[in-house]
């Protein structure tokens, strides 16, 4: 099964930089066409990126509103994402939980609305450094995954992203990644539409080892995915 590579460009690239990188990726399209790649650009450039490389890669949103529509200044609704060609959306990212007060209730609402609009959710879960130190990793993951109860989904991505590994240059050991992924897998059984990917300081140097880790179906990459070197590596990767 092809490994899934999701690039989260966060707020790193403006229009010009996003298009320059997209152009580069397009010039290597032969190497990307058989890979499963999703790019989540910033909202203002989604349409431009989709137009440029939408035939080669899939596009995702980095966030979504909790409601279908209405007086929600600054928000982007699931249907709007679907309209501009987003097949995926990131939900419950640790930056959203930590910096924007996203609670489990909010995350659950977002999941429901996204599924209704036939967009695949990329649900991020992961423990803090203190929780890991106190050996709470597995119980934290179980608790965070409770948002999926009562939701029916054909396809979903769960991104295991330890909070302390995101944007930090620190990654868990391969064994720690495998343990977390197996715990998540065990909770769901063998669901064909479920992929479990790892995120947190993945880059061109560690991606091969992480993708080779048992139970890892792919990666969610932030900062590194905004650089040409990362795509050069992906281009030559057998994944
Ligand atoms: P990072 O971010 O690769 O910059 O650590 C990952 C993420 O936030 O999804």
- Ligand 1 centroid to 105 CA: how many Å? 23
Which residue lies with its CA nearest to atom 2 of ligand 1? Answer: 222
Tokens 């609305």 belong to 113
Q: In this predicted structure, which of 32-41, 76-85, 134-143 has the lowest mean pLDDT? A: 32-41
Residue range 140-154, pLDDT digits in tens = 999 999 999 989 899
- 59 three-state secondary structure: strand
Residue range 99-120, pLDDT digits in tens = 999 999 999 999 999 999 999 9
**What's the gap between Cα 85 and its chain centre?**
17
Q: Is pLDDT above 80 for 192?
A: no
Which residue lies with its CA nearest to atom 6 of ligand 1? Answer: 222
pTM: 0.96
What one-character-per-residue DSSP string does 13-57 give? --HHHHHHHHHHHHHTHHHHTTSEEEEE--GGGHHHHHHHHTTTS
- Active site residues per annotation: 93, 161
Ligand 1 cavity residues, CB under 6 Å: 8, 161, 166-167, 199-202, 220-224
Measured CA to CA, the distance from residue 94 to residue 137 in angstroms comes to 15
Q: Is pLDDT above 80 for 1?
A: no
Task: Give pLDDT, residue 105.
Answer: 97
Residue range 22-65, pLDDT digits in tens = 999 999 988 888 889 999 999 999 999 999 999 999 999 999 99
Q: What are phi and psi of 164, to 5 degrees?
A: -75, -15
CA of 203, closest atom in ligand 1: 3
pLDDT grade for 239, boundaries at 50, 70 and 90: confident
Work out the number of other CB atoms within 10 angstroms of the CB of residue 198.
Answer: 29
Inter-CA distances, 222 with 6, 10, 196, 201, Å: 9, 7, 17, 7
- Ligand 1 centroid to 185 CA: how many Å? 22
- Ligand 1 centroid to 11 CA: how many Å? 12
Q: Is pLDDT above 80 for 231?
A: yes
Contact 81, 61 (CB under 8 A): yes
Measured CA to CA, the distance from residue 59 to residue 84 in angstroms comes to 9
Work out the number of other CB atoms within 10 angstroms of the CB of residue 32.
Answer: 18
Which tokens is 146 given?
Answer: 């409770």
Inter-CA distances, 75 with 72, 78, 115, 177, Å: 6, 10, 18, 33
CA of 221, closest atom in ligand 1: 3
- Ligand 1 centroid to 71 CA: how many Å? 31
Tokens 């179906």 belong to 217
């Amino acid at each position: 099964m092809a490994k899934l590579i999701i690039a989260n460009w966060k707020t790193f690239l403006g229009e010009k930089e996003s298009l320059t990188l997209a152009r580069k990726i397009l010039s290597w399209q032969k190497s990307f066409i058989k890979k499963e790649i999703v790019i989540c650009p910033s909202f203002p450039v989604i349409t431009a990126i989709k137009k440029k490389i939408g035939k080669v890669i899939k596009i995702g949103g980095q966030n979504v509103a909790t409601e279908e529509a209405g007086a929600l200044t600054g928000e982007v609704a699931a249907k709007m994402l679907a309209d501009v060609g987003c097949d995926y959306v990131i939900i419950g990212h640790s930056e959203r939980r930590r910096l924007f007060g996203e609670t489990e209730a909010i995350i659950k609402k977002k999941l429901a609305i996204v599924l209704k609009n036939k967009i695949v959710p990329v649900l991020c879960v992961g423990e803090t450094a203190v929780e890991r130190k106190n050996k709470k990793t597995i119980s934290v993951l179980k608790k965070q995954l409770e948002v999926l109860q009562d939701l029916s989904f054909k396809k979903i991505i769960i991104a295991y992203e330890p909070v302390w590994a995101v944007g930090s240059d620190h990654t868990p050991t391969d064994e720690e990644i495998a343990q977390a992924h197996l715990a998540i897998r065990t909770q769901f059984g063998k669901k064909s539409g479920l992929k479990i990917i790892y995120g947190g300081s993945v880059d061109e140097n560690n991606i091969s080892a992480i993708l080779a880790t048992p139970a890892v179906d792919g990666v969610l990459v932030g900062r590194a995915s905004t650089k040409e070197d990362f795509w050069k590596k992906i281009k030559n990767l057998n994944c």
